[in-house]
Structure 1
Amino acid sequence: MKTNPVLLFAALGTALLLTAPASAQIGTRFPSERKVVKDPVTGTMLTFLTSTPKGDSKIYQTHNQWTSDGQWLIFRSGRVPKEAMAVNEKTGEMVQVTEGGYTGMLNIARKSMKLYFMRNVGAETAPNAASDPARSVQIIEVDLAKLFADSKAGKMQPASVYQRVCGTTPPEIGAGGDMALDGNEDVVYFRVGKTEAAKHLPADTKISSAFGPRNMGAGPAGLASMNIKTGAIKHVVSVPFQIGHVQTNPWVPGEIIFCWETGGKSPQRTWTVLADGTGLRPLYPEADFEWVTHEAVIAPDEVAIAIMGHRKINFNKEATATASTSAQATTPDQRNPGQENAWGPSGSREKPTGLGIVNLRTREMTIAGQTPSGSGLWHVHGSSDGRWAVGDDFSRSLYLIDRHTREMILLTTGHKETAADHPHPTFSPDGTKIQIQSAMLSADNRSMNICIVPVPEAWLKRKYPQPAK
């Protein structure tokens, strides 16, 4: 029998489509993997919005996780390499929401159905600083409402219909890294390179050197802004140290929070500055014995911080002082990090530790709670109504704190210390649930999935007396 070449070509094409990897086209839909699992220790009913080992991870807890309509969560995933995904919390359906890749932080608007991110458009070596990349980045806006509607209708158009280039940075400023969306949602802030940052520092500024065994923290560094309507770029501030974890106050336009990034303990971790470059100051002035980390804006006037209590108290003060100045370090342990001697004497429970809440206006700090043993609370967050605080620990367990009564309960555990990353809890805008990333379902004990943890119904029903006027 003679084979029809047209039919053979069509059959081969169909076979290739069936075996090919997921399409890289924006709007591509993926079937639901939604599962509700009972925590074997606490009994909490956990909703896993993804449940297969596809390289999922949530957006960092410094940023918004939900779309403005409250229906979708956006996350990073390997389902389509280098592209971001959205999952519908009720149905579990997933949609690819970027095309062409992204870099750095995903920024979900709270007032509109928009997504913002950076995309590299070039990277060369700067002629005046071999270690300072000269690159341009585009700031991209995604129209999520149109994207979700067309994807559901099966009538997708070219990516340019949904993705808009807000502007492109000049390569000489070395833009990249963290990005944050202003509370007015008309400006984004991002890091700039050392060469650009140095231009805006006084000539006699003492530049910080690396701090700690990870050889990080050296400056200078800076922040710049871009108007997402006009593409106009402005320099915000330069500092003599390495900047990390750039975030904004979603309720107060023009207020920026960032950190001195060392990969561990910093001489002064938390910082705040206004969009016009004024008001630069430490957010929480810390002592040498305090290990402050993982700050997150949680309310119009509040930032949650972790003051770590993860290191053993050394009763031999002379030995502690010697160890703090020595380059010798203990063997790093990803499950119990920060034990290297070269970090210095901070992080023990000889002094107060726990989940701290800093008031941006009064500058007062209160401790909301602390675990009785173990590492203490590590990555922290809170509800914007002031009712709850939440934190994880080195065991990947999740603790909920009632800020009115100081009661603390274990919400969920069993998320595996071997996981590829930490839970990074983030409250929903309405304060009724918490998003984490979890390896609980993973056969390899490492790959993570997107998980929703509810605040117990009995806690949500609690009533508190009105404060005195």
Structure 2
Amino acid sequence: MGLNQNLALEFTLLSLLIFLMASGCDQQKQVWQKEWQCEVYPPEHLLTNDAQTGAQLRYITTHPGKDVNLYFDLNCWTADQSLLVFYSDRSGRQELFGYLPQSGEIVRLQPDDQSPAYNATVDYQSQDLYVVRDNCAYQWHVEIHLSAQTSQPSEVRIRERKITAAPDSTTFFMGFTESADGRYLSAGLNHTGSEQQDIIALDIESGDMRVLYSGSKISHVQFSKYNPNLLRFSHSPQRMWYIDLREAQIARPLHQQEPGELVTHEDWWIDDQMTFCGGYREEESHVKLIDIHSGLTRIIGAGSWWPEKTPRELSQVNWWHASGARDGRWVAADNWHGHIAIIDARTSHLRLLTKNHRPYGNVGVEHPHVGWAPDSKSVEFTSHALGNANVCIAYLPKEWDDPFINTYQP
């Protein structure tokens, strides 16, 4: 055998080895331990318009049970917006359900013989969910086959892969959030019998955990949706902190909080900014933006305050949760009365989208927790306008694309 033939054979064998190794890696990534078919229920949604603003509303649930969207800083839509995930107790326990917007059908995402999953978030780039069940982290892959006939239900199947279990003597807390590059999930770990809490980055593929910060009284852990190196969390007595993953175990305070100042419900936005709500007087709460590099803070959606106020009056025109659209153009805000406002980031023009989705004064009633669809054309939130907790979608009017509508004309 000549030299060229030997080289060709060696090259062929090397190529085959590389192919087999790559195939093995791909198979390792796609090891699904369980699979099940989901129960699919007929549509129950209600399409209507807000009586005061005219905004188009879609109540995706109208069941007498309690249906709530995921927390406002978590993602509840699949990347192609074929499924919106929410929690419901309609089965007799709180568990994960889904809504198929193309058909209107409701999907029960778990079978009866499974313990309920929680701490859920939906992958920004795929049809996958990440959940905790029995103190283990799981990846679910959702396959949807819409029925061509309205008389036949659509088919939804889930494949499940166990990512890892929480370490001994620890439990997961806080909802998962996904890093911008899709590599990690953020999670919190409570240590049994101790006040110690860890913030970890959980490698989705391998299940390896990396401790980013250890402390106590930690909450609201969230990866940036735009920068894979950034994570924020809430602490005490200073509310807002962030971590750069390139600097392990270093947490930096953000926005020096003054005594008596309200700072609450922050959320990552574009250009390494965060939205949050807060103010300096009782019941005062503006929607604000902070740049984490410069520390510059500005009001983008003003609340109101006057001395002859009552708490009920002030809470109608101040804000409690805020989140930014992924296209960088809009910020949504909600308040104690269930008013949903949309702020145009180009002009800071604040408009009411829909109103009265929460009974004021009942601290046990869920807040709207308004969040965004991936296409930045609608928001989802929990509404009590029908008498109980339902999930509602409100659509931004197309004419709002022009920032100069309804402006003063001399």
User: TM range, normalised to the smaller chain?
Assistant: 0.7 to 0.9
Alpha-carbon distance in structure 1 between the residues aligned to 2:403 and 2:349: 12
1:420 aligns with 2:395: no
Task: Choose the corresponding residue for 1:303, options 256, 261, 274.
Answer: 274
Question: Unpaired runs of 5+ in structure 2?
Answer: 1-35, 306-313, 406-410
Partner of 1:387: 329
1:162 aligns with 2:167: no
Task: Choose the corresponding residue for 2:184, options 184, 187, 190.
Answer: 187
Decide whether the 8 Å contact of 2:96 with 2:117 is kept in 1.
no
1:377 aligns with 2:348: no
What amino acid maps onto 1:272 in structure 2?
Y
**Does the residue aligned with 2:368 lie in a helix, a strand or coil?**
coil
- CA displacement 1:109-130 (0-9 Å, x = unmatched): 011110001112xxxxxxxxxx
Partner of 1:450: 391
What amino acid maps onto 2:261 in structure 1?
E
What amino acid maps onto 2:276 in structure 1?
I
Q: What is the TM-score normalised by the length of structure 1? A: 0.69
Partner of 1:83: 95
- CA displacement 1:285-304 (0-9 Å, x = unmatched): 21113110111113242211
**Does the residue aligned with 1:95 lie in a helix, a strand or coil?**
strand
Alpha-carbon distance in structure 2 between the residues aligned to 1:150 and 1:168: 34
Partner of 1:431: 376
Task: Choose the corresponding residue for 1:37, options 15, 40, 48.
Answer: 48
Measure how far apart 1:173 and its partner are.
3.1
Decide whether the 8 Å contact of 1:355 with 1:367 is kept in 2.
yes
Alpha-carbon distance in structure 1 between the residues aligned to 2:37 and 2:136: 18
Partner of 1:259: 234
Alpha-carbon distance in structure 2 between the residues aligned to 1:268 and 1:26: 46
Partner of 1:142: 140
Alpha-carbon distance in structure 1 between the residues aligned to 2:245 and 2:118: 20
1:93 aligns with 2:114: no
Alpha-carbon distance in structure 2 between the residues aligned to 1:109 and 1:116: 7
Alpha-carbon distance in structure 1 between the residues aligned to 2:296 and 2:185: 28
Measure how far apart 1:377 and its partner are.
0.7
Measure how far apart 1:308 and its partner are.
4.2
Decide whether the 8 Å contact of 2:179 with 2:186 is kept in 1.
yes
1:177 aligns with 2:164: no
- CA displacement 1:402-425 (0-9 Å, x = unmatched): 222222222211213158201111
Decide whether the 8 Å contact of 2:197 with 2:214 is kept in 1.
yes
Partner of 1:331: none
Please show how residues 209-224 of structure 1 align to structure 2 within 5 Å.
Answer: 219-224=195-200
Alpha-carbon distance in structure 1 between the residues aligned to 2:119 and 2:400: 33
Partner of 1:359: 291
Alpha-carbon distance in structure 2 between the residues aligned to 1:279 and 1:107: 26
Measure how far apart 1:195 and its partner are.
6.0
Question: Unpaired runs of 5+ in structure 1?
Answer: 1-24, 121-136, 199-218, 261-265, 312-347, 465-469
Decide whether the 8 Å contact of 2:79 with 2:374 is kept in 1.
no
Decide whether the 8 Å contact of 1:54 with 1:78 is kept in 2.
yes
1:236 aligns with 2:212: yes
Alpha-carbon distance in structure 1 between the residues aligned to 2:349 and 2:180: 32
Q: Relative to structure 1, is the Cα distance of residues 195 and 284 closer, same or farther in structure 2, using a 3 angstrom cutoff? A: farther
**Does the residue aligned with 1:430 lie in a helix, a strand or coil?**
coil
Decide whether the 8 Å contact of 2:95 with 2:117 is kept in 1.
no
What amino acid maps onto 2:352 in structure 1?
L
Q: Relative to structure 1, is the Cα distance of residues 275 and 436 closer, same or farther in structure 2, using a 3 angstrom cutoff? A: same
Alpha-carbon distance in structure 2 between the residues aligned to 1:404 and 1:189: 31
- CA displacement 1:240-283 (0-9 Å, x = unmatched): x31111111122213211112xxxxx521111113352441113
1:459 aligns with 2:400: yes
What amino acid maps onto 1:359 in structure 2?
D
Decide whether the 8 Å contact of 1:103 with 1:177 is kept in 2.
no
**RMSD of the alignment, in Å?**
2.7
Please show how residues 102-113 of structure 1 align to structure 2 within 5 Å.
Answer: 102-113=116-127
Partner of 2:8: none
Decide whether the 8 Å contact of 2:145 with 2:155 is kept in 1.
no
**Does the residue aligned with 1:174 lie in a helix, a strand or coil?**
strand
**Does the residue aligned with 2:145 lie in a helix, a strand or coil?**
helix
Please show how residues 21-32 of structure 1 align to structure 2 within 5 Å.
Answer: 26-32=37-43
